Amino acid sequence: MTKSTHRLYLMPFAQRLTNLRKQRGLTQEGLANLIGLTKTQIYRYERSKAQPTLGVIRRLAIALSVSSDELVFEADERQPDDNLVLLLEGVNQLDPEEKHVVREMIEGMIIKHQTKLMVGGLSS
């Protein structure tokens, strides 16, 4: 990952979009033409005045030659921390039945966590 690409992950969507567009030598109008929108709409995205639909994010990613994840998510949002990566590499060495058990346990913990968040949100 280059230094300039790394910096893209530390900023909000609007800034990432603006920086990627400029890095590609595109004007707002040029990007708008590539993806079938108006210059005004690109301006609104770059000023956080509007949020693009999934279809627009897809077209932006294609036009800017990046993944949609690079446009939308912060660097650490889509990847497990280093400790989990090491554990998952160990899980890869298990036989299929053991992998299934680990998967069921992880899914159960995620459901438990999501339920706790939902119930907590209801009582607030």
Domain ranges of the chain: 3-72, 82-123
Q: Compute the Cα dihedral for 23, 56, 39, 15 and give only its sign.
A: negative
Q: What was the pLDDT predicted at 7?
A: 41
Mean pLDDT, the chain, integer: 85
Neighbour-count burial of 78, counting CB atoms closer than 10 A to its CB (0-12 exposed, 13-18 middle, 19+ buried): exposed
What's the pTM value of the predicted model, to 2 decimals? 0.58
Q: What is the pLDDT of residues 55-101, one digit of tens each?
A: 999 999 999 999 898 888 876 666 777 788 888 889 989 999 999 99
CATH number of the 3-72 domain: 1.10.260.40
Neighbour-count burial of 45, counting CB atoms closer than 10 A to its CB (0-12 exposed, 13-18 middle, 19+ buried): buried
N residues, the chain: 124
Percent pLDDT > 70 in the chain is: 85
User: 């590499």: which residue's tokens?
Assistant: 89
User: Per-residue confidence at 11, pLDDT binned at 50, 70, 90?
Assistant: low
Q: In angstroms, rounded to a whole number, what is the distance separating the alpha carbons of residues 72 and 8?
A: 11
> Which of 67, 68, 17 lies closest to 26 in space, CA to CA?
17
